[in-house]
Structure 1
Amino acid sequence: MKQVMSNKLIIAMYTLPALILILALVYVPIVMTGYYGLMEWDGIGAKTFIGLENYIGLMQDAKFWDSAYHSFLLAAFSTLSLVGYLVISLVLANKLKGSELLRKIYLIPMLLSSVAIAQLWLKIYDPNNGMLNSLLEIFGVENTPTWLADPKLVLISIFIAIIWQYAGFYIIIYSAALKGIPESLVEAARIDGANPIQIAYKVKLPLIAGVIKVTIVLAIVGSLKYFDLIYVMTGGGPNGASEVLASYMYKEAFASYNFGYGSAVGFALLVICLIITWLVRKLTASNEEIQY
């Protein structure tokens, strides 16, 4: 077996199908998206080469920048929510009574599709019969908010739904990382007189720093290209108050039949994701590797 796996031809035969699939499903569409961004095209008829007009138009498009701003707000909010997920994971890692049940409850949103979650939160936010406004009325609030119709409230309302949707995903990642920490290290810190907060901050967090960096990248990039739940709940409204880059790209390409401009938006989104990922990796880079 060792002799077979040292044969470069056999290695190439094993890896070639995967490389072809990656090339066909990832890199070719990326190149084609950038290429379509150079065209004036409705997605059906003949293409007209217009050079960088679409990309120059992006720089002057107020709707594009508003959508980008909302996407960055979502990315910032999602990154901050990681602190909450991490705290919950640290608490559950202490083997408290009922922690296993809570861990399973947090996973429930992962079993639902984004469309189902959107429909659920639409019912919660319903201004007339929704659970949230009904609770506010019980506590004496007369003029209950129209959560998804108010430009000042729509983003925070959507962000709360997204936090609920991804809670289980990040908690299970952090919980798995915390379980990998040797109990002997925690016990040694406890014998030295460290309290639970000190153990969490000075022992556990440094040991899972690599996992935390990965989740930061996942949260930011995932937020920048987030689409489905927002589109189902608000469609980018009211009046563009919840429009994000992915929904703006969809509307331009498939609703307005401006496929060339929509491709330019999509390619710009890709570039933004790459730059943000590079910046996060640079800012969180460390030459120290903790061994245990």
Structure 2
Amino acid sequence: MNKVMSNKLIIALYTLPALILIAFLIYIPLALTGYYGLMEWDGIGEMKFIGLENYINVLKDEKFWESTSHSFLLAIFSTVSLAVYLVISLVLASKIKGAGLLRKIYLIPMLLSSVAIAQLWIKIYNPANGILNSLLKGIGIENPPVWLGNPEIVLYAIFIPILWQYAGFYILIYYAALKNIPDSLIEAAKIDGASAFQIAYKIKIPLIKGVIKVTVVLAIVGSLKYFDLIWVMTGGGPSGASEVIASYMYKMAFNSYDFGYGSAIGFLLLIITLIVTVFIRRLTASDNDTQY
């Protein structure tokens, strides 16, 4: 077996199918997206090579930068929300009563599709008979806001269901990491007189620092390319107030039939995501992390 696995030709034959699949599903589409960005094309007719014109126009496009700012704002909210998820995970991992039931409740949004969640929150935000405005009227607020129709608050209204949707995912990751910490460390800290807060801050969180770094990258990258729930709830409106990079790309490609311009936006989104990922990895790089 060792002779077989030391043979480079055999290793290449084993990895070739996976490499071909990855190339066709990831790298070739990415290369084609960058190539289409060099074209003037409506998606049906003949393509016309125009060089970097689409990319230059995107960089000059105010709507693109506005949608980019919205995506980064979502990334900031997603990153901050990780602290809340971590606190919930710490509580669940402390062997409280009903922790198993609470874990299942937090995971419910993960079982629903983004379209179903969007439709649910559209009903909640309904200005006439939605649950939220009905509650506000019940406590004396006569003119509650039109959550999805007000450009000043629509973006924040959409962030709530997005963060709710992925809460269970991050809580589950943190919970699994916390349960891998040896009980002997926690018991030793308790014997030394450490409080629950000190155990969490001085022992548990440092030991899962590597997991936290991974979730930060996942939250930011996922926010930059987020699309489906926002598109179903508002379509980027009103007046572009909830537009993000992915929804703007979709509009340009499939609504305006400018596939060249849409491809340029998509390729720039890839570049932005890669730059942000590398920046975060270097910012959080550490050689002395202890991981459980």
Fold in common (TM above 0.5) = yes
What is the alpha-carbon distance in structure 2 between the residues aligned to residue 36 and residue 82 of structure 1?
Answer: 37
Distance in 2 separating the partners of 1:281 and 1:289:
14
SS at match of 2:236: coil
1:89-124, Cα deviation, whole Å (9 max, x unpaired): 000000100111001100000100000000000000
Aligned twin of 1:63: 63
Identity rate, percent: 73
Which residue matches 1:27?
A: 27
Secondary structure in 2 matching 1:42: coil
Q: Is the 8 A contact 2:158 2:230 kept in 1?
A: yes
Are residues 1:2 and 2:2 paired?
A: yes
- Residue 93 of structure 2 corresponds to 93
**C-alpha displacement of 1:218:** 0.2
Q: Which residue in 2 is equivalent to 1:232?
A: 232
In the alignment, the residues of structure 2 paired with residue 253 and residue 276 of structure 1 have an alpha-carbon distance, to the nearest angstrom, of 25
Amino acid at match of 2:254: F
CA distance in 2, matches of 1:185, 1:16: 45
Task: Kindly report which structure 2 residues correspond to 1:79-90, keeping only aligned pairs within 5 A, or say none.
Answer: 79-90=79-90
Task: After superposition, give the CA deviation of every residue in 1:191-240 in whole Å (9 maximum; x if it has no partner).
Answer: 11110111101100111000000000000000000000000000000000
Cα distance between partner residues in 1 of 2:150 and 2:117: 20
Aligned twin of 1:77: 77
Q: CA deviation at 1:291?
A: 6.0
Q: After superposition, where does 1:26-45 map in structure 2 within 5 Å?
A: 26-45=26-45
Equivalent residue, structure 2, for 1:131: 131
Give the letter for the 2:178 counterpart. Answer: L
Shift of 1:10: 1.8
Distance 1:53 1:118 in 2: 36
Matches within 5 A, 1:177-192: 177-192=177-192
Q: Counterparts in 2 of 1:134-149, with a 5 A limit?
A: 134-149=134-149
Q: Is the 8 A contact 2:110 2:169 kept in 1?
A: yes
2:263 counterpart residue number: 263
Residue 158 of structure 1 and its aligned partner are, at CA, apart by 0.4
Q: Give the aligned partner of residue 47 of structure 1.
A: 47
- Give CA-to-partner distance per residue, 1:18-55, whole Å, 9 cap, x none: 00011111111111111111111001111111111111
| Gap change, CA 1:20 and 1:219, over 3 Å in 2 | same
Equivalent position of 1:212 in the other structure: 212
1:170 aligned residue: 170
- Partners of 1:290 and 1:194 in 2: CA distance: 20
- Structure 1 segments, 4+ long, off by >4 Å, are none
CA distance in 2, matches of 1:3, 1:172: 41
Moved more, 189-198 or 111-120: 189-198
Instruction: Label 1:261 to 1:132 Cα distance change in 2 as closer, same or farther (>3 A).
Output: same
Q: Deviations over 1:230-283 (max 9, x none)?
A: 000000000000000000000001111000000000000000000000010011
CA deviation map 1:76-97 (0-9, x unaligned): 0000000000000000000100
Mapped partners of 2:208, 2:247: distance in 1: 34
**Structure 2 CA distance, aligned partners of 1:30 and 1:71?**
21
Task: For 1:291 and 1:130, locate their aligned partners in 2 and report how far apart those are by CA, in whole Å.
Answer: 46
TM-score w.r.t. length of structure 1: 0.98
The two structures, once aligned, show a CA RMSD in angstroms of 0.9
1:153 Cα offset (Å) = 1.1
Unaligned runs of 5+ in 1: none
Q: Distance in 2 between matches of 1:6 and 1:278?
A: 33
Residue equivalent to 1:115: 115
What is the identity, as a one-letter code, of the residue corresponding to 1:221?
A: V
